[in-house]
Chain A
Amino acid sequence: DAGVIQSPRHEVTEMGQEVTLRCKPISGHDYLFWYRQTMMRGLELLIYFNNNVPIDDSGMPEDRFSAKMPNASFSTLKIQPSEPRDSAVYFCASSFVKDTQYFGPGTRLTVL
């Protein structure tokens, strides 16, 4: 199995631009999680899905952030407009029956 796939691995953009992060979970997994990691706040859960349905988006910082999961094999996290404080590493993880989570390699986002 290829594991959780995230793209792009690195993204550098200017303030105000739209950013879209992509995730392909492990086939057969029914949970998908989006996290953000920074030195200041550590690892924060942004949103998670079960069977493609958003279950808890209480971690999404503000309306500039949105996430979708149109099917079981694909999810996006969008930031529009982006701000310098959004700079972080964004991880996607997937799991089966709520136990072990498998993390992707992350997307390092820099907003100038």
Chain B
Amino acid sequence: SQQGEEDPQALSIQEGENATMNCSYKTSINNLQWYRQNSGRGLVHLILIRSNEREKHSGRLRVTLDTSKKSSSLLITASRAADTASYFCATEGGSSNTGKLIFGQGTTLQVKP
């Protein structure tokens, strides 16, 4: 079954605006990761946040994690047309620590120039 559920399913914004995507999950995790997928391509890792971390930054990306609410958010600031892609959260986790990731259904982001 799906572990991560993204919200919204689709998002359309103007270049320069901020984009926020949310992810909720069901069970305990070791870490949560965000990936980007451009149309027709493989997934590209963006950022990883561990269960004992609350916030992480990488360039224009900001990720938060709230383990009490079992949720995470990805913020892309000052968006660009090149940010147009699908974004997936993926959780690895619980006591098994297997390295196995469970992906959500993704948020499709369109950034209009």
Write out, one digit per residue, whether chain B residues 19-42 have a CB within 8 A of any chain A CB (1) or not (0): 000000000000101010000011
Please determine whether A100 and B103 come into contact, CB atoms closer than 8 angstroms: no
Binding site secondary structure of chain A: strand
Task: Compute how far the CA of A50 lies from the CA of B105 in the bound complex, rounded to whole angstroms.
Answer: 26
Tier of interface size on chain B:
20 to 34
- Which B residue sits closest to A6, measured CB to CB? B42
Write out the residue numbers on chain B whose beta carbons fall within 8 Å of the beta carbon of A93: 42-43
- Which B residue sits closest to A56, measured CB to CB? B100
Residues of chain B having any CB pair with chain A under 8 Å: 2, 31, 33, 35, 41-45, 48, 88, 92, 97-106
Please determine whether A99 and B31 come into contact, CB atoms closer than 8 angstroms: yes
- Which B residue sits closest to A106, measured CB to CB? B42
Count of chain A residues with a beta carbon within 8 Å of a chain B beta carbon: 22
A48-B99, A56-B98 as given contacts; A103 in contact with B43, CB under 8 Å: yes
Write out, one digit per residue, whether chain A residues 72-97 have a CB within 8 A of any chain B CB (1) or not (0): 00000000000000000001010100
Can you name 14 extra interface pairs (CB under 8 A) apart from A45-B102, A99-B99?
A4-B42, A31-B99, A33-B100, A42-B103, A42-B104, A42-B106, A50-B99, A55-B100, A91-B42, A93-B42, A98-B98, A102-B45, A103-B44, A105-B42
